[in-house]
């Protein structure tokens, strides 16, 4: 077992959060609002983004490397703020490491309960749709409901590039929404953590009658439950802080933080070396 796997969970450690890029910030935002006293360490593996078209093995190896990095810095709980990594790697992470993990599952259950037309649309990546998690929630909670799944190839890259409503993004959205609208869906699930950042553009395209659901608040609530259940809440009343790190361009990530969340913060650079994620040693 690696030393990271033996890392004891500590109340004063940060909550680790990771995604293939900026998408997981939609979950971090909800976590921060729900758990303001907690410290966070957010890792964006933007160098390897998008994950959605990678193999489950590749995603599992990247997720293990990121989890080891987070545990090596004292993470007491890890939120996999990525539907694709949750689909491909969550079970493996839980078997490999001793800390609790909270993952993402497309919000099919609430959508099935809300729809009036009996038709629900789900936007996600190919790997999310291929994963067991997705098929389990559809089988378990969508009986009698027609679920139209649609991938938006190229949309994650547009959001990573900061295009949240330009012509190329709108064209991609029109294409992936078309089968869902043609089927008469009145409820739409955002099954990728990047997509809440284009929710306004999506709402304009689908119209006010279609209800858009994304699970970040529910994930934050689940993380709070796990912290309480495991006795891992950070002691004291001091406001928590967040450290951001990316394997891509720190400047591009910092620009995304400001554009998407109105937040100015330093971003450190991470480098992959033989399957391990390290703090960039160069000045």
Helices (H), the chain: 3-6, 25-34, 56-72, 83-96, 108-114, 126-130, 132-141, 155-160, 167-182, 199-206, 216-230, 250-261
**Quick one: angle between helices 199-206 and 167-182, nearest 10?**
50
In terms of CB distance, is 78 or 232 closer to ligand DGL? 78
Smallest distance, Å, CB 47 to ligand DGL? 11
Residues of this chain that interact with ligand DGL (CB under 6 A) are 19-20, 23, 49-52, 82-84, 125, 128, 156, 192-194
Smallest distance, Å, CB 195 to ligand DGL? 8
Sign of CA dihedral 95, 40, 223, 145: negative
In terms of CB distance, is 190 or 232 closer to ligand DGL? 190
In the bound state, the residue with its beta carbon closest to ligand DGL is 52
Smallest distance, Å, CB 17 to ligand DGL? 12
In terms of CB distance, is 96 or 128 closer to ligand DGL? 128
Q: Which pair of tokens denotes residue 170?
A: 């709108």
In terms of CB distance, is 191 or 250 closer to ligand DGL? 191
192 is catalytic: yes
Q: How far apart are CA 139 and CA 35, in angstroms?
A: 32
In terms of CB distance, is 47 or 233 closer to ligand DGL? 47
List the catalytic residue out of 49, 152, 176, 192. Answer: 192
Smallest distance, Å, CB 191 to ligand DGL? 7
Q: Which pair of tokens denotes residue 67?
A: 């989890």
Helices (H) and strands (E) in the chain, counts: 12, 11
In angstroms, what CA-CA distances link 57 with 4, 49, 63, 79, 88? 21, 15, 10, 20, 8
Smallest distance, Å, CB 24 to ligand DGL? 6
List the catalytic residue out of 82, 152, 176, 233. Answer: 82
Please, are residues 196 and 189 in contact by the beta-carbon 8 Å criterion? Answer: no
Active site residues: 82, 192
């Amino acid at each position: 077992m690696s030393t990271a796997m033996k890392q004891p969970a500590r109340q004063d450690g940060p909550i680790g959060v990771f995604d293939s890029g900026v998408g997981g910030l939609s979950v971090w935002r909800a976590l921060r609002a729900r758990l303001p006293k907690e410290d966070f360490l957010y890792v964006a593996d933007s160098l390897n983004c998008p994950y959605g078209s990678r193999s489950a093995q590749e995603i599992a190896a990247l997720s293990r490397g990121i989890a080891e990095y987070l545990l090596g810095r004292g993470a007491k709980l890890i939120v996999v703020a990525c539907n694709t990594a949750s689909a491909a790697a969550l079970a493996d992470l839980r078997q490999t490491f001793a800390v609790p993990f909270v993952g993402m599952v497309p919000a099919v259950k609430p959508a099935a309960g809300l729809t009036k037309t009996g038709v629900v649309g789900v936007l996600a990546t190919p790997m999310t749709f291929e994963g067991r998690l997705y098929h389990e929630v559809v089988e378990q909670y969508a009986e009698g409901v027609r679920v139209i799944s649609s991938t938006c190839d190229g949309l994650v890259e547009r959001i990573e590039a900061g295009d949240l409503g330009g012509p190329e993004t709108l064209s991609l959205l029109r294409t992936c929404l078309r089968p869902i609208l043609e089927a008469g869906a009145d409820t739409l699930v955002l099954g990728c953590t990047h997509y809440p950042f284009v929710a306004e553009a999506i709402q304009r395209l689908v119209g006010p009658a279609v209800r858009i659901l994304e699970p970040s608040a529910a994930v934050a609530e689940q993380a709070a439950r796990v912290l309480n259940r495991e006795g891992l809440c950070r002691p004291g009343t001091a406001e928590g802080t967040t450290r951001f790190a990316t394997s891509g361009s720190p400047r591009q990530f910092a620009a995304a933080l400001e554009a998407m969340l109105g937040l100015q913060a330093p971003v450190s650079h991470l480098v992959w070396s033989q399957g391990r994620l390290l703090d960039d040693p160069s000045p």
